[in-house]
């Protein structure tokens, strides 16, 4: 990651949210390292990952903040919602409770991000079809109702993981292109490379961060 050439046009900031143990960190690891980390430790606080992708011929750097899922960590992770261009909201298709909590995660995501933030719903662990607890159609209906893009993924096999991150980036890029996302506004989670400056708010406000 360190040696990556800095020839990208934008930086997009993502957050990954969702219940404990749904596989947020594994999704991130699969996306950045293309590997499944079977003994991935649980996240305490917030962790960070990055990767450069290409959308419509433009190189885009994704800065991804992976949050702890336990309820009491929300106080800490909430400050990372601000200024996120994309939010990946993850549940586990084998545990209905993680699906049932989506409305609460969605409320947070809606309230704490800006209106242009692309929220992407991910049903993880699609490789565990035999233990499925949430039907695809049901989650799809939920996503449609709330205007979310939805994919079922497997951090283990890598299925659809790439697509989820890329699709989110495409949507953000689209918003930039059609002008619905104003690059000059605050906390959009998007930074054009030329305006990269130290006070451009690419990270959560450090003074509010009680990490």
Partner 1 sequence: MSTNGVPRVIPVQPVQATARRSHSFQKQSSTEREYPAEMRRTSHSTAPLNSSSVLSTGPFKRVDDHRRQHIYEELPFEANQNQNRLPNHQESFGNSEQSRNRERHRQQLQMYEDYIVEERRRREDENRETDILNDSENEDEDEIYQAPENDEDAATSSDDPEYEELMERDRIVNLYEKGPENKDIDAWENPDFDIYYKLDRFGFVHKENENLTEEQKEHRKRVQIELSREKKWLRMIEQWQSGHPPSKLEERIWKGIPEKLRMMVWPKLLGADRMMRENQDVYHQLLLRARLVSKDIQQIDLDINRTYRDHLAFRKRYDIKQKSLLNVLAAYSMYNTEVGYCQGMSQIAALLLMYLDEEESFWCMHALMISPRHSMHGFFVPGFPKLTRFETHFKKVLKKYKKGVYKHLDKHDIPYIYLTKWWFGCFLDRVPFSLALRLWDVFLLEGDSILIAMALNIMKMHERTIKTLGIENFMEFVQTTLPNNFRYTDDQTMHSLREALSKMRSDRLHKPPPPSPDDLPELPTKALGSILSRPLATIKDEISEIQSRKSKSRPNSAYPSPYPTRRKESAKLKSGGSRPNLNRNESPSRMHSSQTTSAYGSISGLPSQVSHHANPMSTSLDVSTFSYAYSPNALPPTSTKTQQQQQQMISSRFSIRDEQTGRMVTLVRASPSEDDSPSSFSSETARIIHDRDNVTRIEL
> Does the protein bind partner 1 through residue 56 (CB under 8 A)?
no
Of the residues 108, 133, 159, 162, which one makes contact with partner 1 according to CB under 8 A: 133
Of the residues 17, 27, 28, 68, which one makes contact with partner 1 according to CB under 8 A: 68
Nearest CA to 210 out of 78, 14, 66 is that of: 78
Return the H-helix or E-strand segment holding 53.
strand 46-55
Measured distance CA(54)–CA(91) in Å, rounded: 27
CA 137 to chain CA centroid, nearest Å: 22
Return the H-helix or E-strand segment holding 169.
helix 161-177
Binders of partner 1 in range 108-127 (CB under 8 A): none
Measured distance CA(182)–CA(2) in Å, rounded: 30
Vertex 18: Cα angle to 86 and 79 (nearest 5): 60
Measured distance CA(12)–CA(85) in Å, rounded: 6
Nearest CA to 196 out of 4, 10, 5 is that of: 10
CA 70 to chain CA centroid, nearest Å: 17
Binders of partner 1 in range 144-203 (CB under 8 A): 198-199, 201-203
> Does the protein bind partner 1 through residue 30 (CB under 8 A)?
no
> Does the protein bind partner 1 through residue 39 (CB under 8 A)?
yes
> Does the protein bind partner 1 through residue 70 (CB under 8 A)?
yes
**How near is the Cβ of 66 to partner 1 at its closest, in Å?**
10
Span interacting with partner 1, options 71-79, 108-116, 145-153, 173-181, rule CB under 8 A? 71-79
Of the residues 56, 100, 103, 104, which one makes contact with partner 1 according to CB under 8 A: 100
> Does the protein bind partner 1 through residue 45 (CB under 8 A)?
yes
Binding site for partner 1 (CB under 8 A): 1-2, 20-21, 38-48, 50, 63, 68, 70, 72-73, 75-76, 79, 94-97, 100, 131, 133-134, 198-199, 201-204, 206, 209-211
């Amino acid at each position: 990651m360190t040696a990556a050439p800095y020839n990208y046009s934008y930086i997009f900031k993502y957050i990954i949210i969702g219940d404990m143990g749904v596989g947020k960190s594994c999704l991130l690891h699969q996306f950045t390292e293309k590997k499944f980390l079977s003994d991935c430790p649980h996240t305490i606080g917030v962790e960070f990952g990055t990767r450069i992708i290409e959308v419509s011929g433009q190189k885009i750097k994704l800065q991804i903040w992976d949050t702890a899922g336990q309820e009491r960590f929300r106080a800490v992770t909430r400050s990372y919602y601000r200024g996120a261009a994309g939010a990946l909201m993850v549940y586990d298709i084998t545990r209905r409770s993680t699906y049932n909590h989506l409305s609460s995660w969605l409320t947070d995501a809606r309230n704490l991000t800006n209106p242009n933030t692309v929220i992407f719903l991910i049903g993880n662990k699609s490789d565990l079809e035999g233990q499925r607890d949430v039907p695809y159609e049901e989650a799809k209906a939920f996503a449609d109702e709330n205007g979310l893009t939805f994919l079922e993924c497997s951090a283990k096999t890598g299925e659809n993981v790439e697509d989820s991150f890329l699709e989110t980036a495409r949507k953000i890029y689209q918003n930039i292109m059609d002008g619905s996302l104003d690059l000059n506004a605050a906390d959009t989670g998007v930074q054009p490379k030329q305006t990269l400056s130290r006070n451009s708010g690419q990270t959560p406000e450090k003074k509010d961060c009680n990490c």
